[in-house]
Structure 1
Amino acid sequence: MPKITYVAVDGTARTIDVASGTSVMRGAVFNDVDGIVAQCAGNAQCATCHVYVDDTTVDRLEPARPDEDDLLDFTACPRRPGSRLSCRLTVTEALDGLIVHLPERQK
Structure 2
Amino acid sequence: MTAPVTVVTFEHRAGITVVDAVPGQNLMTLAVRAGVPGVRAECGGSAACATCHMYVDEDYLASVAEPDATEDEMLDEAWEPRRPNSRLGCQVEVVADTAQIAVVVAEGAA
Cα drift, residue 37 of structure 1: 0.8
1:104 to 84, 94, 107: 107
Q: Which of 1 and 2 has greater Rg?
A: 2
State whether structure 2 residue 31 is matched by structure 1 residue 17: no
Stretches of structure 1 that go unaligned for 5 or more consecutive residues are none
8 Å Cα contact 1:37/1:106 also seen in 2: yes
* Percent pairwise identity: 33
> Can you give the 5+ residue segments of structure 2 that lack an aligned partner in the other structure?
none
Superposition RMSD on alpha carbons, in Å?
1.7
> If each structure's strand is expressed as a fraction of its own residues, which one has the higher value?
2
Shift of 1:105: 2.1
Q: Where in structure 2 are the equivalents of 1:7-86 lying within 5 Å?
A: 7-9=11-13, 12-86=15-89
Q: TM-score, normalised by structure 2?
A: 0.85
- Between the aligned partners of 1:9 and 1:56, the Cα distance in structure 2 is 23
Return the alpha-carbon distance in structure 2 between the equivalents of residues 42 and 100 of structure 1: 17
- 1:57, 1:26 → 2: CA distance? 18
